[in-house]
Structure 1
Amino acid sequence: MDTSPTRLLIHGASGRMGQALLRLAAEQSACTVVAAVTRRAPAQRVVDGVPHFAATELGGVPAFDAAVDFSLPEGFDAVLALCVDRGCPLVSGTTGIDAAQQDALATAATRIPLVWASNFSLGVAVLAELVERAAAALPGWEVDIVESHHVHKKDAPSGTALTLGHAAGGAGQAVRYASLRAGDIVGEHMVQFTGLGERIELTHRATHRDIFARGALHVARSLVGRPPGAYRVRDLLD
């Protein structure tokens, strides 16, 4: 059994998530970062033992086992193409990708294992599964999703709320959304099922953004060696 660390490419390494990925990966023996890619030319070629590359140098990065991408839509195509070319898994949380890029993801999934998700919290992945099961078991109940985030978050409902709504809506329920923007709330999602005389509330509260980076690292390690396909975070919890 191969116990060597998973070699990771971090794409979008200068962003908030990229920095968290670099920091947390350095604390784990199960993975090692072999390349950190930033949009602009790096001020230093090696930082804390990790080689840094500009996005224009992406084709020259060393061999890696999986890529983790939290960048911008304009940088997404290149990292997806690189993973397909090298036959390596891709984990992406880049938001704002358009329909053509979503089609490219679906095509790539026939050749490599990949995950695109709006939220990499392992707890949210479990919540989505619970929501799906509850919706299937409670036909005819009303479904409301209330999400709260910090004042700087622009999109509403959040991508996670929409994902949870999709999990509930798959069983045929109509879903209503409410959004709150206040203070420095990292993220809270409550899914409420209401029937006559009773109510169920399923809630997830994030208290630190590191949970998303930890989840992405877990998913990246779990994808290595799997057959091609589009996976969900919840498919990789074991």
Structure 2
Amino acid sequence: MTATSSSPAPAAPHKIAIAGASGRMGRMLIEAIRANDDCVLAGALDQATSPAIASDASAFLGYASGVAITADLQAGIAPASVLIDFTRPEGTLRHLEICRANGVNAVIGTTGFTAQQKAEIEAAARDIAIVMAPNMSVGVNVTMKLLEMAAKALSTGYDIEVIEAHHRHKVDAPSGTALKMGEVLAQALGRSLDDCAVYTREGETGPRDPSTIGFATIRGGDIVGDHTVLFAGTGERIEITHKSSSRATYAEGSLRAVRFLAGRKSGLYDMFDVLGLRG
């Protein structure tokens, strides 16, 4: 008899639910899922007041996915293996309750969480696997690694300022990405961001405290997201900048996080884990 061989069966696609499916980020995520053969749209959520409720989630792309946008959290999340959520903190926490009850993992790009809300996410990560990062862009997270290296090398003699700019509709400030950059910088310097951050300057401020990390916020137009960290020394300035021109980078990074979570049952991770930048 002649031995025969067969190709291994292709892996099942990642079944993904999208929160805020009719918003700008939601649509970008749905488009990215459509473009990646190893991913499939399994659920689409939006607020009950959205005019998109009951419509096909992929109608804006000119094809029918067979997945209707719903405000029913159970119906929208349970069919998926992972939820991607870029909504608001209160909504994300409600979604996580359903994820936890159904064993659905989560990728969270939502920003603006309080310390108590972050503790709730940590508690959920005991039962499901979660990737949470204020910015899913691969480039932003590589930038953060560069900031860690720069802060260690420039730990004395350099003042550090974080400048961020976003579109006029952004509701939190500084951005979650800017705050994460501040945390990376402070940790590299052996400090706590809570103790050294300066968010506002007005009036007679006195000379700059060299141990602080300053933040400046710009809001206007349709800026997707610009972040610059300035290391200002005597006789030189070093600037490390990342500029986003499209939310597509956030979507592709989110799908990398989805793939990272495959087979994981619990734990709280970030994009450094996803990209192998830890350590």
Assess same fold via TM > 0.5. yes
State yes or no: 1:157 paired with 2:195. Answer: no
My pick for the range that moved more, 45-54 or 19-28, is 45-54
Note the C-alpha offset of 1:105: 0.4
SS in 1 for 2:260: helix
Cα distance in 1 between the residues matched to 2:78 and 2:215 = 45
SS in 1 for 2:227: strand
Write the letter of the residue equivalent to 2:32: L
My pick for the range that moved more, 227-236 or 39-48, is 39-48
Cα distance in 1 between the residues matched to 2:185 and 2:28 = 31
State yes or no: 1:9 paired with 2:17. Answer: yes
My pick for the range that moved more, 201-210 or 84-93, is 84-93
Identical aligned residues as a percent: 38
My pick for the range that moved more, 109-118 or 25-34, is 109-118
Structure 1, gaps ≥5 residues long: none
Give the corresponding residue for 2:134.
118
| Structure 1 contact 7–32 (Cα < 8 Å) conserved | yes
Give the corresponding residue for 1:43.
54
Cα distance in 2 between the residues matched to 1:166 and 1:73 = 20
Cα distance in 2 between the residues matched to 1:104 and 1:28 = 32
Cα distance in 2 between the residues matched to 1:62 and 1:106 = 21
Note the C-alpha offset of 1:89: 1.7
| Structure 1 contact 33–50 (Cα < 8 Å) conserved | no
Which of 60, 68, 79 is 2:95 aligned to?
79
Aligned positions of 1:222-233 closer than 5 A: 222-226=260-264, 228-233=266-271
Aligned positions of 1:121-136 closer than 5 A: 121-136=137-152
| Structure 1 contact 147–178 (Cα < 8 Å) conserved | yes
What is the TM-score with the length of structure 2 in the denominator? 0.76
Write the letter of the residue equivalent to 2:241: T
State yes or no: 1:22 paired with 2:30. Answer: yes
SS in 2 for 1:153: coil
My pick for the range that moved more, 58-67 or 107-116, is 58-67
Q: 1:185 to 1:44 in 2, by over 3 A?
A: closer
Note the C-alpha offset of 1:45: 5.8
Cα distance in 1 between the residues matched to 2:244 and 2:77 = 34
Note the C-alpha offset of 1:231: 0.9
Q: 1:50 to 1:233 in 2, by over 3 A?
A: farther
Write the letter of the residue equivalent to 1:203: T
My pick for the range that moved more, 114-123 or 98-107, is 98-107
Cα distance in 1 between the residues matched to 2:57 and 2:20 = 16
Q: 1:36 to 1:96 in 2, by over 3 A?
A: same
Q: 1:4 to 1:102 in 2, by over 3 A?
A: same
Note the C-alpha offset of 1:60: 6.7
SS in 2 for 1:139: coil
| Structure 1 contact 38–52 (Cα < 8 Å) conserved | no
Give the corresponding residue for 2:198.
none
Give the corresponding residue for 1:137.
153
SS in 1 for 2:74: helix
Cα distance in 2 between the residues matched to 1:61 and 1:187 = 29
| Structure 1 contact 114–231 (Cα < 8 Å) conserved | yes
Cα distance in 2 between the residues matched to 1:206 and 1:60 = 30
Cα distance in 1 between the residues matched to 2:32 and 2:221 = 26
Highest CA radius of gyration, 1 or 2? 2
What is the TM-score with the length of structure 1 in the denominator? 0.88
SS in 1 for 2:22: coil
State yes or no: 1:31 paired with 2:47. Answer: no
